[in-house]
Structure 1
Amino acid sequence: MRFPRSRRDPVEVNLTPLIDVVFLLLIFFMVSTTFETRQALELTLPESASGVAADVSPVTLAVTAQGVYRLQGRELSAAELGEALANEAEAAREAGLVIEADGRASHADVVRALDQASLLGIRQVRIATAQPASTQATSTQAETP
Structure 2
Amino acid sequence: MRFPRRRRDPVEVNLTPLIDVVFLLLIFFMVSTTFETRQALELELPESASGQPMEAAPVTLVVTAAGEYRLGERVHTAGTLGDALAAEAEQAREHGLVVEADGRAAHADVVRVLDRAAGLEIRHVRIATEAVATPQAETP
Runs in 1 of length 4+ with deviation above 4 angstroms? Answer: none
Distance (whole Å) between structure 2 residues aligned to residue 69 and residue 91 of structure 1: 18
Where structure 2 has 5 or more consecutive residues not aligned to the other structure, the ranges are 1-15, 135-140
Q: Which residue is equivalent to 1:43?
A: 43
TM value normalised by structure 2: 0.70
Please say if residues 39 and 73 of structure 1, whose CA atoms lie closer than 8 Å, have aligned partners that are also in contact: no
Distance (whole Å) between structure 1 residues aligned to residue 90 and residue 84 of structure 2: 12
How many residues of Structure 1 are paired with residues of Structure 2 in the alignment? 109
Distance (whole Å) between structure 1 residues aligned to residue 113 and residue 67 of structure 2: 11
Where structure 1 has 5 or more consecutive residues not aligned to the other structure, the ranges are 1-15, 135-145
Aligned residues with identical type, % of pairs: 69
Distance (whole Å) between structure 1 residues aligned to residue 89 and residue 103 of structure 2: 25
SS at match of 1:92: helix
Per the TM alignment, residue 40 of structure 1 is displaced from its structure 2 partner at its CA by 3.6
Distance (whole Å) between structure 1 residues aligned to residue 54 and residue 77 of structure 2: 28
What amino acid is the match of 2:88?
E
In terms of fraction of residues, the more strand-rich structure is 1
Root-mean-square deviation over aligned CA pairs: 2.2
Q: Which residue is equivalent to 1:61?
A: 61
